[in-house]
Amino acid sequence: MQKKVQKILSDADIRINGSRPWDVKVNNPKFYSRVLSQGSLGLGESYTDGWWDCKALDQFFDRLLRAKIDKSVKITKDLFWLWLKSQLINMQSKKRAYEVGKKHYDIGNELYEQMLGKTMMYSCAYWKNAKTLDEAQEAKLELICKKLELKPGMKVLDIGCGWGGFAKFAAKEYKVRVVGITISKEQLKLAQENCAGLDVEIRMQDYRSLNEKFDRIVSVGMFEHVGTKNYKKYMKAVSKCLNEDGLFLLHTIGTNKSSRSGTEPWINKYIFPNGHLPSVKQIAAAAEKYFILEDWHNFGKDYDLTLMAWHKNFIRNWDKIKENYDERFKRMWEYYLLCCAGAFRSGNNRLWQIVFSKNRNQQYSSIR
């Protein structure tokens, strides 16, 4: 089995027990059979269990994905079950909407405070003219506000508002009124604290229960939780809430090919339950009936830089939060951040900012 795994990895120039940063050091010989039988789920779980190590997981995954090794590994029962569930069940139904909040966003605000920086933005930063994470996140917020053409007095909806980073910035810098909705109790509490004294209202609410009008709508890093069965419902809900002369900005991770099976098994089980990365085709098809496409901006390589900055913060500040977690969690979180960095570096994942209008007569000016 070792020879079989080595043969697969050799296509990506990865060696077992090699000396390069992206090579794999095997600590438990059961690693080989586990990976061959369980695919990506076994790869992630065996790392969390300490069965193997790698000095640079980001480089490991970059090489693995560029070589398309994931395509050569057989379909496992876990991947098949994810596909089957996605066909038979709406994994992102209104009833299930709060699961990811409990599983991922409610595991401790202190963790995210130490990892994300002062903006508390848990989405791709914009590094075009930035040197630090905080600068890049503020540049992203400024970019969004300019793309939305915000003006004082406008009423803005933030779907999936996180810890209130955008709401705070837009209300303070552009003098707009912001309503932010989240499905996380911990986010709700901290977002309300962060936006205190500003014209901001933060609610615990699912997007499907909205029934009011807004001049602008923004969704940053939330569409990944919507799911293919709900894409058209989502676009319909946004359209219903957007004024006729309004603008809607969608900031989302995307993938190169359309799929209905959701995220890969390890990410689904341990990080983002019931998640799904949309394709260009899926977004366009869902939006076509409700919106006019004004602008499509791709800066996926910036997410590689963002994830590496988060990882750096996580490791540097681990001693401040380690009483709340264990070493297994540390390995799991490092694996999550670095495998995602590798996915963006390889071009396997994308990051898009898309601007839609409903009925605009004047021409929209693209901003970069």
Convert 50-66 to b/e letters by CB count within 10 Å (16 or more is b): ebbebeebbbbbbbbbe
Do 219 and 351 have their domain in common? yes
What pLDDT score does 349 carry? 95
∠ at Cα 348 (347, 349), nearest 5°? 90
Do 178 and 165 form a contact (C-beta atoms < 8 A)? no
Catalytic residues: 340
Do 155 and 109 have their domain in common? yes
Neighbouring-strand partners of residue 181: 159, 203
pLDDT tens-digit series, residues 102-135? 556 767 899 999 999 999 999 999 999 999 999 9
Do 241 and 180 form a contact (C-beta atoms < 8 A)? no
Q: Does the global pTM surpass 0.95?
A: no
Q: Does some domain include residue 88?
A: no
Q: Does some domain include residue 156?
A: yes
Structure tokens given for 244: 């006729």
Do 190 and 42 have their domain in common? no
Range of the structural domain that residue 156 is part of: 97-357
Helix axes 327-345, 301-316, angle to 10 degrees: 160
Do 209 and 294 have their domain in common? yes
Q: Does some domain include residue 83?
A: no
Q: Does some domain include residue 79?
A: no
Do 238 and 143 have their domain in common? yes
Q: Does some domain include residue 85?
A: no
User: What domain count does the chain have?
Assistant: 2
Question: Of the residues 59, 74, 89, which one is the last residue of a structural domain?
Answer: 74
End-to-end CA distance of the chain: 50
Do 137 and 156 form a contact (C-beta atoms < 8 A)? no
pLDDT tens-digit series, residues 66-78? 998 866 555 444 5
Do 154 and 276 have their domain in common? yes
Q: What is the mean pLDDT of each successive set of 10 residues along the chain, which is 368 residues long?
A: 90 96 97 89 94 98 89 50 42 50 70 95 97 98 98 98 97 98 93 97 95 98 92 97 96 91 80 90 97 96 98 97 94 97 96 92 78
Q: Does some domain include residue 365?
A: no
Do 183 and 51 have their domain in common? no
What pLDDT score does 70 carry? 65
Q: Does some domain include residue 347?
A: yes
Q: Does some domain include residue 82?
A: no
Do 313 and 231 have their domain in common? yes
Do 24 and 14 form a contact (C-beta atoms < 8 A)? yes
Do 51 and 124 have their domain in common? no
Do 112 and 29 have their domain in common? no
Question: Of the residues 74, 109, 133, which one is the last residue of a structural domain?
Answer: 74
Q: What is the CATH number of the domain that holds 111?
A: 3.40.50.150
Mapped to the 3 state alphabet, what secondary structure does the chain carry?
Answer: CHHHHHHHHHCCCCCECCCCCCCEEECCCCHHHHHHHHHHHHHHHHHHCCCEECCCHHHHHHHHHHCCHHHHCCCCHHHHHHHHHHHHCCCCCCCCCCHHHHHHHCCCHHHHHHHHCCCCCCCCCCCCCCCCHHHHHHHHHHHHHHHCCCCCCCEEEEECCCCCHHHHHHHHHHCCEEEEEECCHHHHHHHHHHCCCCCEEEEECCHHHCCCCEEEEEEECCHHHCCHHHHHHHHHHHHHHEEEEEEEEEEEEEECCCCCCCCCHHHHHHCCCCCCCCCHHHHHHHHCCCCEEEEEEECCHHHHHHHHHHHHHHHHCHHHHHHHCCHHHHHHHHHHHHHHHHHHHCCCEEEEEEEEECCCCCCCCCCC
Do 352 and 252 form a contact (C-beta atoms < 8 A)? yes
Do 39 and 152 have their domain in common? no
Do 338 and 261 have their domain in common? yes
Question: Of the residues 74, 105, 137, which one is the last residue of a structural domain?
Answer: 74
